[in-house]
Amino acid sequence: MPLIGGSVLVNFLGSTVRGTVRSVTDDGRRLEVTTEDGETLAFALNRATATFTTEGHQTGARLSFEGAVGGPAH
């Protein structure tokens, strides 16, 4: 489950930026991330792919959690 204050990577089509989780819904399926550029993005858990994507769509930015088992650790 994502944690407020956790470090994430926001993967756009051609670039990746670091971000911080700012809010998480009670069920953990929706969250807000503020990027290092100051942009705030909303993500939802996509049930088809089991990944967090912008607003739950299959296209667009994807989220990965830094330091997660099997994920990037920087």
Q: What are phi and psi of 65, to 5 degrees?
A: -100, 125
What is the reported pLDDT for 69?
A: 44
Tens digits of residue pLDDT in 41-73? 999 998 888 889 998 777 789 999 976 544 444
Domain holding 51, by residue range, is 7-65
- Residue 19 lies inside a defined structural domain of this protein: yes
- Residue 1 lies inside a defined structural domain of this protein: no
Tell me whether residue 8 is exposed, middle or buried, using C-beta atoms within 10 angstroms of its C-beta: 0 to 12, 13 to 18, 19 or more. Answer: buried
- Residue 53 lies inside a defined structural domain of this protein: yes
CATH of the domain at 18: 2.30.30
Total domains in the fold of the chain: 1
Q: What's the pTM?
A: 0.81
- Residue 74 lies inside a defined structural domain of this protein: no
What is the reported pLDDT for 58?
A: 76
